[in-house]
Amino acid sequence: MKSIFVALSVLAYLLFAVVVEAAPDYYSILGINKRANEKEIKTAYRQLSKQYHPDKNSSPEAHDKFVEVGEAYEVLSNKEKRANYDKYGDPEGPQHHGGPGDFFNNMFGGHHGGQHGGQQRGDNSQLNLNLALSDFFQGKDMDFEVEMVNICTDCTGSGSSDGKKIKCKNCNGGGVVMIRRQLAPGFVQTFQSQCDQCQGKGSIVANPCKVCSGSGAKRGKRKYDVHIPAGFPRDGVQTMEGEGDAYPDIIPGDLHIVFKEDLSRSWGYRRVGNNLYRDEVLTAKEALGGGWERHIPYFDEIETEIKLSRNAQQMVRDGEIEVVQGKGMPFHNADGLDDDKHGDLFIQYKIVIPGGSKEAAGHVMRDEL
């Protein structure tokens, strides 16, 4: 039996040596030096992410490079992960990879060396942000604050006002208690259970932190900045990994940011996929006689208006649709060969007669025809 255990231990060491690799050079990936500030990191990331985005770059290496750039930015834009990476070479800190003993535990499910497996992962969080249609059209950089659960800064998550803890008397510091249960006369079951006094930690806080009431976590504001590319889909999601609510001894979940369209700020347009739709009202005189011109607002920063017109005696029917090609939404999933690819704009004309109704307008137009 001992020889089998030794053989398995050797195998675990060999496998551990194979799977544990050095962290990539994130600074080189972004093309910056180790003294780069937050703005320089963000600028480098945006330039490279646009360069290697699979929607813009169809080369076989673009996808891998895009993922690599995103991973580098995730680490270097996070102060804690960056500090760990600079100091230990690993964004998760010195204990991230553990050792062969931990690897052995993960493989065989044991508690070798007193380790108790991985941490629990927290739930994901969702945040809805409302944007005008012009923001989806042009793209936008957004800075915002959101209230989340954060590790208490006063006690650094310990829950103790003085940093002191005392051994739990209920479990004698073991974190578990033995429970005996009689199943039937002469039959007694004995099993371990997590101590409900210290929640399995083996110690309790002597003087709870007054800021977080001993919980080690407290709700507070966080600041984020995100980039919405032009043509980003309505109800599209950006995921901030590890930015969910944070509690001591729990790995935070992700923060999902959902971008909603504020329909009250759409300038009369309706978005369906990559196309735009709009109703345009004409008087009976304009519809029958033509000879009119008007300019409707448009989302482009350079071409801020679109001209609609009819020559004299050029009739417009009620419900007639005019297609303005290439004036719809930008393609978010462009093939990378045409950066200015857009959908179309569909204008539907509605004829209005003073004192009449839409149905009456339709009868008038039919009579004239």
Q: What string of pLDDT tens digits covers the 369 residues of the chain?
A: 445 444 444 444 444 444 344 568 888 888 998 888 888 898 888 888 788 876 677 776 777 787 788 888 888 988 888 888 887 777 876 654 444 444 444 444 443 333 444 578 889 999 999 999 999 999 999 999 999 999 998 888 888 888 788 888 888 888 888 887 766 666 767 777 888 878 777 888 888 898 998 889 999 999 999 999 999 999 999 999 999 999 988 899 999 999 999 999 999 999 998 999 999 999 999 999 999 999 999 999 899 999 999 999 999 999 999 999 999 999 986 444 445 789 999 999 999 987 655 554 544 444 444
Number of domains composing the chain: 1
What is the pLDDT at residue 366?
45
What is the pLDDT at residue 281?
95
Tokens at 66, concatenated: 């895009």
Give a yes or no: residue 320 inside a domain: yes
Coil/strand/helix, residue 282: strand
What is the pLDDT at residue 282?
95
What is the pLDDT at residue 102?
46
What is the pLDDT at residue 56?
73
Give a yes or no: residue 343 inside a domain: yes
Burial of 52: CB neighbours in 10 Å, binned 0-12, 13-18, 19+: buried
What is the pLDDT at residue 317?
94
The domain spanning residue 298 has which CATH number?
2.60.260.20
Give a yes or no: residue 158 inside a domain: no
Give a yes or no: residue 50 inside a domain: no
What is the pLDDT at residue 118?
57
What is the pLDDT at residue 359?
54
What is the pLDDT at residue 5?
44
Cβ–Cβ under 8 Å, residues 122 and 315: no
Task: Round to whole Å and give the CA distance between 6 and 245.
Answer: 42
Task: Round to whole Å and give the CA distance between 27 and 318.
Answer: 61
Looking only at the bridges linking them, the beta strands covering 125-131 and 255-261 are parallel
Half-sphere exposure of 262 (CA within 13 A, CB side): 10
What is the pLDDT at residue 59?
75
What is the pLDDT at residue 94?
61
Give a yes or no: residue 84 inside a domain: no
Cβ–Cβ under 8 Å, residues 343 and 332: no
Coil/strand/helix, residue 87: helix
Cβ–Cβ under 8 Å, residues 313 and 291: yes
Cβ–Cβ under 8 Å, residues 201 and 168: yes
Cβ–Cβ under 8 Å, residues 332 and 232: yes
What is the pLDDT at residue 147?
93
Phi/psi for 220 (5° steps) reads: -165, 175
Give a yes or no: residue 227 inside a domain: no
Closest Cα partner for 168 from 202, 207, 206? 202
Indicate the pTM of the whole model.
Answer: 0.57
Within 8 A by CB and 6+ apart from 199, the residues are none
Coil/strand/helix, residue 197: coil
Give a yes or no: residue 30 inside a domain: no
Task: Give me the domain span that covers residue 291.
Answer: 267-368
Tokens at 296, concatenated: 């409707």
Give a yes or no: residue 348 inside a domain: yes
Burial of 93: CB neighbours in 10 Å, binned 0-12, 13-18, 19+: middle
What end-to-end distance do the CA atoms of the chain give, in Å? 99
Burial 305-335 (b: 16+ CB within 10 A, else e): ebebebeeeeebebebeeebeebbbbbbebe
